[in-house]
């Protein structure tokens, strides 16, 4: 079952008065392989799990308030909100260039003094600040903005865009920093953009098993997902397929765990946030 945020406000219990499990997912193409099993298959629809789609910042608030049991949300939430944990083995990952989390600049990267940030972003904002500081020795001024490149660049030297907005093709004269490529250059590791996060008591064995089933179904149906999503994004099937099959990965192994915890250490060092997290 799939609900919009508006429909969620009207949804209380299922027909037999047993409350369904609510989970939240990012609305971007890279999240579809981890949630489409719930919305597109008979087994998923019968799983008792309802998926809500919202941008990362909204999902974080819904997770904090207890509206949802788990969220496929920015990995930085693990370090911003004590008491949260993540489901091992599942993540939204890229090794090197990610193509959908990018900084676009009117000036050379070393000359950036003011940056407009996609207001829906969480992890990407933290990652950008780490990369500009550690790769370019920059600490520019940051402002939050709606994700429209023209208006962002009218007000700043550079603009951070994420998700489907970040993946679009823009003016080739702009200077671009792909944040995944920057992280790889800095650490030699992949980057974990999102994972299933929740409170330990909410991430029950049954829910974790359903999330693993959904991941496996998504990995086996990437071309189908690209075929059914590309028109919504006003993208070609070839670009959507390339993104899902050649750029994104959905397994969290040892290297991804190392990268996630290193990111947490860097977030803690920069913002005095807790760096220790646990798996459920």
Q: Which domain CATH number covers 176?
A: 3.40.190.10
Which pLDDT does position 95 carry in this prediction?
Answer: 95
Digit-coded pLDDT (tens) for 199-252: 999 999 999 999 999 999 999 999 999 999 998 888 889 989 999 999 999 999
**Does residue 117 sit in the same domain as residue 179?**
yes
Query: In the β-sheet with 102-105, what is the strand arrangement from edge to edge?
Result: 141-145, 114-118, 158-161, 102-105, 175-178
| End-to-end CA gap in the chain | 25
Q: What is the DSSP string of 238-268?
A: HHHHHIIIIIEEEE--HHHHHHHHHHHHHHH
Q: What pTM, to 2 d.p., does this model score? A: 0.84
* Measured CA distances, 272 to 77, 89, 263, 264 (Å): 14, 27, 13, 11
Q: Which residue has the higher pLDDT, 120 or 253?
A: 253
Q: What is the DSSP string of 166-212?
A: HHS---TTSEEEEHHHHHHHHHSS-EEEEEEEE-TTTS-HHHHHHHH
**Does residue 171 sit in the same domain as residue 127?**
yes
Binning pLDDT at 50, 70 and 90, where does residue 58 land? confident
Whether residue 6 is contained in a domain is answered as yes
Q: CB atoms < 10 A from the CB of 146, how many? A: 11
CA-CA-CA-CA torsion for 17, 22, 28, 29, nearest 10 degrees?
-70
Binning pLDDT at 50, 70 and 90, where does residue 169 land? confident
**Does residue 69 sit in the same domain as residue 120?**
no
Which pLDDT does position 1 carry in this prediction?
Answer: 54
**Does residue 180 sit in the same domain as residue 131?**
yes
Of the candidates 193, 192, 26, the one whose C-alpha atom is nearest the C-alpha of residue 36 is 26
Instruction: Point out the domain boundary residue: 187, 207, 233.
Output: 187
Whether residue 180 is contained in a domain is answered as yes
Instruction: Point out the domain boundary residue: 169, 187, 205.
Output: 187
**Does residue 202 sit in the same domain as residue 140?**
no
> 50-64, 143-157, 265-279: which has the minimum mean pLDDT?
265-279
Which pLDDT does position 4 carry in this prediction?
Answer: 55
Instruction: Point out the domain boundary residue: 187, 222, 249.
Output: 187
Rounded-to-integer distance, Cα 250 and Cα 227, Å: 19
DSSP state at residue 120 = T
Of the candidates 89, 93, 92, 95, the one whose C-alpha atom is nearest the C-alpha of residue 252 is 89
Q: How many independent structural domains does the chain possess?
A: 2
Residue 124 and residue 160 in contact, taking contact as beta carbons nearer than 8 Å: yes
**Does residue 74 sit in the same domain as residue 211?**
yes
Whether residue 13 is contained in a domain is answered as yes
Digit-coded pLDDT (tens) for 134-159: 999 999 999 999 999 999 999 999 99
Q: What is the DSSP string of 20-81?
A: PEEEEE-SSGGGGGGTHHHHHSHHHHTTTEEEEE--HHHHHHHHHHTS-SEEEEETTHHHHS
Of the candidates 111, 131, 129, the one whose C-alpha atom is nearest the C-alpha of residue 121 is 129
**Does residue 10 sit in the same domain as residue 79?**
yes
Rounded-to-integer distance, Cα 70 and Cα 23, Å: 5
DSSP state at residue 148 = -
Residue 24 forms beta bridges with which residues? 52, 71
Domain that holds residue 142: 102-187
């Amino acid at each position: 079952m799939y609900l919009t945020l508006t429909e969620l406000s009207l949804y209380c219990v299922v027909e037999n008065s047993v409350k369904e499990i609510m989970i939240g997912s990012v609305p971007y193409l890279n999240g579809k392989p981890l949630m489409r099993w719930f919305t597109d298959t008979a087994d998923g629809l019968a799983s008792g799990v309802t998926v809500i789609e919202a941008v990362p910042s909204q999902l974080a608030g819904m997770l904090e308030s207890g509206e949802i049991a788990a969220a496929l949300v920015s990995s930085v939430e693990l370090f911003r909100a004590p008491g949260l944990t993540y489901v091992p083995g599942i993540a939204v990952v890229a090794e090197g260039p990610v193509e959908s989390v990018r900084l676009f600049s009117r000036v050379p990267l070393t000359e950036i003094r003011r940056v407009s940030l996609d207001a829906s972003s969480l992890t990407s904002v933290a990652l950008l600040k780490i990369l500009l500081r550690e790769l370019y020795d920059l600490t520019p001024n940051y402002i939050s903005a709606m994700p429209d490149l023209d208006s962002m660049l009218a007000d700043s030297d550079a603009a951070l865009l994420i998700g489907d907005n970040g993946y679009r093709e823009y003016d080739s004269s702009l200077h671009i920093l792909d944040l995944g490529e920057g992280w790889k250059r800095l650490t030699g590791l992949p980057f974990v953009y999102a994972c299933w996060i929740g409170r330990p008591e909410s991430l029950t064995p049954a829910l974790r098993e359903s999330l693993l089933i959904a991941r496996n179904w998504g990995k086996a149906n990437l071309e189908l997902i690209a075929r059914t999503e590309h028109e919504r994004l006003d993208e070609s099937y070839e670009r959507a397929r390339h993104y899902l099959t050649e750029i994104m990965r959905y397994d969290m192994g040892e290297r991804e765990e190392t990268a996630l915890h290193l990111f947490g250490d860097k977030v803690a060092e920069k913002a005095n946030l807790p760096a220790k997290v646990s798996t459920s």
